[in-house]
Amino acid sequence: LSERLQSALAKLKGKGKVSEADVKAAMREVRLALLEADVNYKVVKDFVSKVRERAVGQEVLKSLTPGQQVIKVVNEELTQLMGGAQSKLELTSKPSVIMMVGLQGAGKTTTTGKLGRYLKKQNRRPLLVAGDVYRPAAIRQLEVLGEQVELPVFSMGDQESPVTIAEKGVAEAKDQDYDTVLIDTAGRLHIDETMMEELKAIKEKVEPDETLLVVDAMTGQDAVNVAESFNRELGLTGVILTKLDGDTRGGAALSVRSVTDCPVKFSGMGEKVDALEPFHPERMASRILGMGDVLTLIEKAQASVDQEKAKDLERRMRKQQFTFDDFLEQMDQVRNMGPLDEVLGMMPGMGQMKGMKNLQVDEKQLTRVEAIIRSMTREEKQQPDIINASRRKRIAAGSGTTVQDVNRLIKQFMDMKKMMKQFTSMSKGKKKKGFGK
Ligand code: GDP
Ligand code: MG
């Protein structure tokens, strides 16, 4: 999935500008990638339409290229899809009871040990309860894990009913001052009535704070279906996705939350006891997009860079140092931002000057303007005063425009500068205006 998504988005990454068609094409590939990754069909449909809506919509951040912005939107929506914020365990009772449920082989027993270890590190005192009396050696398996993570295991052999064991386990915890009870239960190969009834009986008896479904991420869409039935029958407070280390497609991770409305609380990343991690939707999204923390970095940089740029620009305008380079930069932003008068409203000190008729330029004109400025030399851009008649002729030729076009632009620029000057002298003594705020 990562690869497919990355290649779909890579095409956008380098682009300075992204058209609606670009976004559409990228989204088509994103859609395919998700479907191939076994993400639920309805989830994919909603996801793609949300991203498309936002990507071609109004959200524009100045320091990101449009390509980066689409990626940012995809990342945000992926995060949202997986629940947005991290979902923590809610352990309130004393002792708090966590019941582990799931199909055979999903990783319940292993995860019980892992979670015990995790909670111990959070300064809790967990007791593990061996509630699987059916699978040969299941009790022994938990005891071995208990030794590894240095936690006590409560067991009553395989002759008592799981309900009794769970109940006695909780009583034992109360007695011995353990604050958390983790109950390992038996699974079946498939969901069946007997198993559900037994789990329901245990649940009724011990009233767990958390009923966690342990589900094998590698089973993809099946994992989602399993989560749906367990949630319907039993009521879940969370899901633990195991074997995410081997899950290359990511389908379960992506759809479990939105299909079942159950938050994924942890992920299993390997067979070892320390291979359990709280599930962070944002990190998972970034991992799927394969960009690690790059996006967060961009986000952080963006906030400061924008402000700095704006401040710098404002400073320069006040000193009448506004050059064609600044002009060009503003133009670039204009293209991505929409109506020029709105953009002008966002420029430092320009809010008051809306309706400057000679600055109402349309898209075609913008292209021409850009070409003209790009045909200027460095000096000309920085000191427009030196642009004499022969320079104007050269610029016109170089940009494929006419001298009149060049004249008009320079006049516009000079007018703009003059107005800024007026404005800055006008506003002297007044409070400084911020950038768009
Ligand atoms: P249970 O039947 O649900 O209790 O499942 P077990 O805890 O016995 O686990 C079944 C198998 O899955 C074992 O071989 C575990 O080592 C393996 N397993 C569990 N969690 C993970 C995981 O996160 N990653 C990997 N790679 N293997 C896991
Ligand atoms: Mg087991």
Mean of the pLDDT values across residues 280-308? 58
What does the alpha-carbon distance between residue 415 and residue 105 come to, in Å, rounded to a whole number?
A: 75
Tokens of 176: 């011995």
Residues 102-132 have pLDDT tens digits of 999 999 999 999 999 999 999 999 999 999 9
Average pLDDT, the chain: 80
| Residues 247/218, Cβ–Cβ less than 8 Å | yes
Distance of CA 312 to the CA centre of its chain: 31
What does the alpha-carbon distance between residue 396 and residue 155 come to, in Å, rounded to a whole number?
A: 88
Tokens of 180: 């958390």
CA of 196 to the centre of ligand 2 (A): 16
CA of 271 to the centre of ligand 1 (A): 6
Q: How far is CA 280 from CA 64, 120, 355, in A?
A: 24, 20, 48
Considering only CA atoms, which residue is closest to atom 26 of ligand 1? 270
Question: Is any ligand 1 atom within 6 A of the Cβ of residue 268?
Answer: yes
CA of 166 to the centre of ligand 2 (A): 15
More confident residue, 137 or 412: 137
CA of 213 to the centre of ligand 2 (A): 13
3-state secondary structure of 300: helix
Instruction: Please state the residue numbers annotated as binding site for GTP.
Output: 102-109, 184-188, 242-245
Q: What is the pLDDT of residue 370?
A: 83
Considering only CA atoms, which residue is closest to atom 13 of ligand 1? 107
Give the mutation target among 143, 191, 271 for probing the ligand 1 site: most ligand atoms within 8 A of CB.
Answer: 271
Question: Is any ligand 1 atom within 6 A of the Cβ of residue 108?
Answer: yes
Q: What angle do CA 86, 87, 89 make, to 5 degrees?
A: 135
H or E stretch including 239? Answer: strand 238-242
H or E stretch including 355? Answer: none
Please identify, by atom number, the ligand 1 atom nearest to the C-alpha of residue 114.
Answer: 20
Mean of the pLDDT values across residues 370-393? 90
Q: What angle do CA 314, 317, 318 make, to 5 degrees?
A: 90
CA of 154 to the centre of ligand 1 (A): 21
Considering only CA atoms, which residue is closest to atom 16 of ligand 1? 271
CA of 106 to the centre of ligand 2 (A): 8
Question: Is any ligand 1 atom within 6 A of the Cβ of residue 131?
Answer: no
What does the alpha-carbon distance between residue 206 and residue 372 come to, in Å, rounded to a whole number?
A: 77
Please identify, by atom number, the ligand 1 atom nearest to the C-alpha of residue 106.
Answer: 3
What does the alpha-carbon distance between residue 396 and residue 372 come to, in Å, rounded to a whole number?
A: 7
pTM of the model: 0.66
Q: What is the pLDDT of residue 385?
A: 87
Q: Annotate 392-404 with b (16+ C-beta within 10 A) or e (fewer).
A: bebbbeebebeee
User: Which among 124, 137, 129 is positioned nearest to 113, based on CA atoms?
Assistant: 129
Question: Is any ligand 1 atom within 6 A of the Cβ of residue 114?
Answer: no
Tokens of 76: 């945000």
pLDDT class of 51 with cuts at 50, 70, 90 = confident
Question: Is any ligand 1 atom within 6 A of the Cβ of residue 105?
Answer: yes
Q: What is the pLDDT of residue 331?
A: 64
More confident residue, 166 or 42: 166
H or E stretch including 37? Answer: none
Q: What angle do CA 56, 341, 306 make, to 5 degrees?
A: 65
Q: How far is CA 181 from CA 59, 129, 155, 171, 307, in A?
A: 47, 7, 12, 10, 51
Question: Is any ligand 1 atom within 6 A of the Cβ of residue 242?
Answer: yes
Q: For residue 407, is pLDDT > 80?
A: yes
CA of 268 to the centre of ligand 1 (A): 9
Residues 222-251 have pLDDT tens digits of 999 999 999 999 999 999 999 988 876 778
Residues having C-beta closer than 5 Å to ion ligand 2: 108-109, 138
Sheet holding 210-216, edge to edge: 153-154, 126-131, 180-185, 96-101, 210-216, 238-242, 264-268, 276-278
Please identify, by atom number, the ligand 1 atom nearest to the C-alpha of residue 268.
Answer: 23
Q: What is the pLDDT of residue 98?
A: 98
CB atoms within 10 A of CB 296: 14
Strands (DSSP E) contained in 86-151 are 96-101, 126-131
What does the alpha-carbon distance between residue 256 and residue 399 come to, in Å, rounded to a whole number?
A: 55
Q: For 233, which DSSP code? A: H
Q: How many CA atoms lie within 13 A of 270 on its CB side?
A: 5
Instruction: Tell me the one-letter amino acid at 255.
Output: S
Instruction: Please state the residue numbers annotated as binding site.
Output: 102-109, 184-188, 242-245
Q: For residue 302, is pLDDT > 50?
A: no
Provide the sign of the torsion angle of the four alpha carbons 393, 398, 399, 400, taken in this order: positive
Tokens of 188: 């079946």
> What is this model's ipTM?
0.99
CA of 214 to the centre of ligand 1 (A): 10
3-state secondary structure of 225: helix
What does the alpha-carbon distance between residue 112 and residue 198 come to, in Å, rounded to a whole number?
A: 19
User: Which among 72, 293, 103 is positioned nearest to 190, based on CA atoms?
Assistant: 103
What does the alpha-carbon distance between residue 429 and residue 50 come to, in Å, rounded to a whole number?
A: 47
Question: Is any ligand 1 atom within 6 A of the Cβ of residue 3?
Answer: no
